[in-house]
Structure 1
């Protein structure tokens, strides 16, 4: 490809307003994905000693989605704003490789997670034997599986190149349409990275729902167990439906257009037919955190508690940095409303912090109410910042 041909291939083929729209949408997706997957990793870190082997897949899903976000979104956003691919042919191949690696790893992780959930719910005799070693081994297999397909175009089975709309890179669909070897790679991707995961995910969650429904009917005569089973069933139904809808919404458009590019008349395919499916595929990075964060009550409560703690610590740190008067105001306001069980609480320590994040590390000691019997303001008595209140 000469310099002139390369420049033409890397020039956007969609109208400028649509490019700007894509850039804005990618920016929103990128921020949501970064926050969502970071929160997912944070929650996993907070409960790392309580993690079950099956939850390793959720962590791996967050890692692969975060990798996809950091490697793809910045270049896609800037190129869309400039109405052309800005980073040259070599970076184009790296971009496509990262998209393929992290995307297939996320797909494979979702598939393995559905299998593990099916075995644990429907075949508890075998599911109870699933441990952390099995989880790590399956996660390693997911990365090897993704690496196999991501490296294939680098070994001349398929080819990476610019997307037809010009501001991103993936498989070179023109080569896939014209050469049987490249077409066979596209077909392999369609079968092993879309059809097979789709069948496994749907079958697994359908099996889970059938099993839970049978268990619920068997427990109907026990009121307490009935309530418990109904709660479990509701969560499982939400998770199952959300995972299936997210999977189909993210990957079905791209799977369809890939087959169209491989076997149809390539020249008749409009660039927008590639741009919008690519946008849906990238949106998969925000579905997974929403599904696994927002639909699990315990995770939601942990998030609310820690976010409230962080906000309180940041507010306290900001006000204290503006002067002792405002810092004292917070302590006085807190002292006006002591907890109802304050008499049963052990003495607390007021801690001096250099910044809000250091205060967050020591929370809740830094925000605790001093013993009302002492009748002393910790902001006026510096000794209280380093010794227990009496």
Structure 2
């Protein structure tokens, strides 16, 4: 067996050093504190790396604790306000609540991670690993496909403002689709039907196995990459591209018509200081798409490298980055999707004045285009 040569106890480089040359008293390898009957959980790739110093775990504990509080607060308030406020109970907002629920589920991983970091291993061994990874699978895949459903809803609301809006039955069906979408690639590895859940990185987080060198693992990784990442990304890009194209065409038509009529604008009650509709749509679409890319591209790269690329690039520290990225984005979603909603801010000002939110009343006298744009960008 070979270990990466190390500088002290912290930094590993990719030069093998025979195990018999190492002082076992001064260097612990990953998996050192697992009972022998549970060592099968640790992929051989990780057994060649030194265990990180305990202060690395403490640093991650601080980061995850801050993310846990932020996520619980942000997503919890979104769920509470949107479900208890009559003015916010709309079909479009059902999808926002669904997204917040998925993000809240991801938050449930964090207390487990705090315990794992304190013990420097997965608490509960195989069962604990399966539960941790299943929570991440449900929340991650569910949030990805819910983003796609939100993109579809906003495209319909803008392109067909009179008859394109969802009703509660349609919104409910879309929510069911998002939950059904999460099931296959959550249940298969949990039940060891296809793939499996294993510890990764510092062995304090778990995900599906992307390191085993066989066709079954590579097939699983390829399928989950398409199902959980590529298809939602294509849907999000498609619907927002169509939405932006429609808005630009509509605004161009209004400007040309206004020019022919020798008036400044055809939009009723237009706020001259407000950002133009197409810019608002572009910013919202870019932010949503950018957050999706930031959240899941690191995981996609790591898993593809593990299954099809150079595994030597996957150090324990490198594979912790995707987990942190996903958690950060799950904390930001409530602010991106909900905090810009005028009526949501009004409810926050009324119910939680200590937050410091100040919002003027929302006028209902808006043009069809402006109202549709606002619903699309803030619903």
TM-score (norm 2): 0.74
Q: Compare the two structures and name the one with the higher strand fraction.
A: 2
Partner-residue secondary structure (3-state), 1:75: helix
**CA offsets 1:75-129 (integer angstroms, 9 cap, x no match):** 112222333222221111111112111211111111111112112212447614x
CA distance in 2, matches of 1:26, 1:146: 24
The alignment status of 1:227 with 2:261, answered yes or no, reads no
Pairing of 1:104-253 with structure 2 (within 5 A): 104-124=141-161, 127-128=164-165, 130-153=166-189, 154-175=191-212, 178-220=213-255, 221=258, 222=265, 224-225=267-268, 227=270, 230=275, 232-253=277-298
Cα separation, 2, equivalents of 1:61 and 1:17: 34
Match of 2:14 in 1: none
What do you get for the CA RMSD once the two structures are aligned? 2.6
C-alpha distance in 1 between matches for 2:41 and 2:221: 26
Q: Secondary structure at the match of 1:227?
A: coil
Structure 1 CA distance for aligned equivalents of residues 42 and 75 of structure 2: 36
Q: Decide whether aligned partners of structure 1 residues 8 and 185 sit closer, same or farther in structure 2, where only a CA change above 3 A counts.
A: closer
Local SS of the residue matching 1:161:
strand
Alignment of 1:314-329 (within 5 A): none
Say which SS state the counterpart of residue 352 (structure 2) adopts: helix
**Residue 94 of structure 1 pairs with residue 131 of structure 2:** yes
Q: Select the structure that is richer in helix.
A: 1
| Equivalent residue pairs, number | 307
Q: 1:8 to 1:152 in 2, by over 3 A?
A: closer
**Secondary structure, counterpart of 1:173 in structure 2:** coil
Contact kept in structure 2, 1:216 and 1:230, CA below 8 Å: no
1:305 aligns with 2:350: yes
Deviates more, 1:186-195 or 1:294-303: 294-303
CA distances 1:47-100 after superposition (whole Å, capped 9, x unpaired) = 245422121110111111112212x00011222233322222111111111211
Aligned to 1:219, the other structure's residue is in SS state helix
Does residue 35 in structure 1 map to residue 73 in structure 2?
yes
2:145 touches 2:232 (CA, 8 Å); kept in 1?
yes
Bigger mean CA offset, 83-92 vs 224-233:
224-233
Q: Indicate the SS of the match to 1:165.
A: coil
Unaligned runs of 5+ in 2: 1-34, 259-264, 357-379
Q: Tell me: higher relative CO, structure 1 or 2? Use CA pairs within 8 A at least 6 residues apart.
A: 2
Q: Determine which of 18, 30, 39 is the counterpart of 1:5.
A: 39
Structure 1 alignment gaps of length 5 or more: 312-390
Report the alpha carbon displacement of residue 27 of structure 1 after superposing the two structures with TM: 0.8
- Residues 235, 296 of structure 1: 8 Å contact kept: no
